[in-house]
Chain A
């Protein structure tokens, strides 16, 4: 019983043609966000991630573009048994996607497919992406106590480019900055990197936590190197040239004056 095909047409429009345009591959990361459930992940009926545990983020996998059957079974379950979750995922060429098993707002397991923003980031900046995939009410995301993303519901994400650096990040109940669900004292957003933070688990059940994925190499070059305001460079003539020209000028002036005097 396959779920409806998840063809993310939007992906083609969202992923800019730059970095991977000529590649026939896509990149996939897998995130486990269902608490208390060790699973085996099958890709096209091949056991790919055995014993995949809650809170784990895989390294990025480069895969040929195409359709992939994703089946998730309890760890050790027979490969022919009915999967707990199943999804047919279409990976377009050039896409960078994350497949996540997580809880919906009511605490039921589901598979989410995310398109990661791999567009170029301005020099000096990093990108922060926050994805609410936990069984929890809407949240606010605060960076250095300022609101970064407000009233984020389960299944939604926020994306922002910020100056590279360390940020104090708080997840709070929506509209109540004092109701801190989770605090990260210093989350590093490296330059040219998209840091993707997943809220996972069940808040009421005590399994709420964060998982982090990062995509580097999205940097741009600075726009220029302004490195001079003095205007002294033009005077950088060699001394012998200055002396020679002075000598030449003196000779011509003296000669000229003499000519004029001798004529008068």
Chain B
């Protein structure tokens, strides 16, 4: 009798300890200074109209070459180098997740959502936005999982910790090295899409997938997991580390 009760108590304790340990160590919804990224990208997006400096009276020299005739329209093919990028991403490697994936250009679905590859092992680059290394947020999106295909490239994205290295391979043979800085799980209706898809401001690599709770009848997650990364070469970015934040605002998460 006593042994049996002890067994029950031991079992109970193991369960409690395991759950407490897990709840203390499992990936948090928000890590790193997400707000710095949201603000830096959103602010630059709002200041879009101020990019052209005010001219009083134009200079004659400025217009000698300003003629635009039809032949001057860039002849780029929209699916290869949209918006005239010098290089576009073709591969993504995240050692911390043990993932290597192809990156393919993606646009917009008829309903206005971003296209995400039908293959759960591929990563989409938002071809109308910035490419990695350019001003603004370069968006790479992939499925967390797909019905019938199982877990995808970004299945582990919600566990990707700040400091993790991300490699982006470009079509010109170069590779960009990025460092994850912050991560947040947003309810889909709260996704700061103007910041995430900003084409101006600091150069940010933004990884995005689904997460949160899954609605089995709609087959839909209620949240997006977003990881913000910056080029690792410089180690930090001015907007991220200096005092662009209101005094006293601590990094999110606990």
Give chain A residues whose Cβ lies under 8 Å from the Cβ of B75: 186, 188
* Bound Cα distance A227, B212 (Å): 12
From known contacts A228-B143, A228-B210, infer whether A221 and B197 are also in contact, taking CB-CB under 8 Å: yes
Q: Which listed residue, A192, A212, A244, touches B18 by the CB 8 Å rule? A: A244
CB distance from A5 to the nearest CB of B (A): 21
A247 nearest CB neighbor, chain B only: B14
From known contacts A56-B67, A228-B145, A231-B145, infer whether A255 and B8 are also in contact, taking CB-CB under 8 Å: yes
| Contact between chains at B78 and A232 (CB < 8 Å) | no
* Bound Cα distance A60, B182 (Å): 38
Instruction: Give chain A interface residues in 23-51, CB to chain B under 8 Å.
Output: 23, 25, 27, 43-44, 46-50
| Contact between chains at B112 and A222 (CB < 8 Å) | yes
| Contact between chains at A190 and B111 (CB < 8 Å) | no
Q: Which listed residue, B6, B22, B152, touches A228 by the CB 8 Å rule? A: B152
| Contact between chains at A124 and B68 (CB < 8 Å) | no
From known contacts A223-B112, A229-B145, A230-B149, infer whether A64 and B63 are also in contact, taking CB-CB under 8 Å: no
CB distance from A218 to the nearest CB of B (A): 9
Interface-lining segment among B51-59, B164-172, B244-252: B51-59
CB distance from A135 to the nearest CB of B (A): 19
| Contact between chains at A58 and B63 (CB < 8 Å) | yes
Q: Which listed residue, A48, A166, A225, touches B57 by the CB 8 Å rule? A: A48
Instruction: Give chain B interface residues in 194-228, CB to chain A under 8 Å.
Output: 194, 196-197, 199, 208-211, 214, 216, 219-221, 224
B174: interface (CB < 8 Å): no
B234: interface (CB < 8 Å): no
A176: interface (CB < 8 Å): no
Where chain B touches its partner, the secondary structure class is mixed
A192 nearest CB neighbor, chain B only: B128
| Contact between chains at B58 and A61 (CB < 8 Å) | yes
| Contact between chains at B15 and A244 (CB < 8 Å) | yes
| Contact between chains at A225 and B7 (CB < 8 Å) | no
Give chain A residues whose Cβ lies under 8 Å from the Cβ of B73: 187-188, 212, 214
B141: interface (CB < 8 Å): yes
A14: interface (CB < 8 Å): no
Give chain A residues whose Cβ lies under 8 Å from the Cβ of B12: 248, 252
| Contact between chains at A49 and B63 (CB < 8 Å) | yes
* Bound Cα distance A122, B148 (Å): 32
Interface bracket on B = 35 or more
* Bound Cα distance A122, B114 (Å): 12
Interface bracket on A = 35 or more
* Bound Cα distance A248, B15 (Å): 5
Q: Mark B1-45, 1 if CB is under 8 A from A, else 0.
A: 101111111111111011101100010000000000000000000
B1 nearest CB neighbor, chain A only: A262
Give chain A residues whose Cβ lies under 8 Å from the Cβ of B209: 225, 227-228
A138: interface (CB < 8 Å): no
* Bound Cα distance A141, B73 (Å): 19
* Bound Cα distance A221, B114 (Å): 9
Instruction: Give chain B interface residues in 48-78, CB to chain A under 8 Å.
Output: 48-58, 60, 62-63, 66-70, 72-78
* Bound Cα distance A53, B83 (Å): 29
Q: Which listed residue, B14, B158, B193, touches A251 by the CB 8 Å rule? A: B14
* Bound Cα distance A175, B51 (Å): 43
| Contact between chains at A250 and B11 (CB < 8 Å) | yes
B108: interface (CB < 8 Å): yes
CB distance from A50 to the nearest CB of B (A): 5
A70: interface (CB < 8 Å): no
| Contact between chains at B11 and A230 (CB < 8 Å) | no
Q: List 6 A-B contacts (CB under 8 A).
A: A20-B49, A56-B66, A225-B210, A227-B221, A229-B220, A230-B120
The 3 closest A-B pairs by CB, nearest first: A251-B11, A230-B145, A124-B108
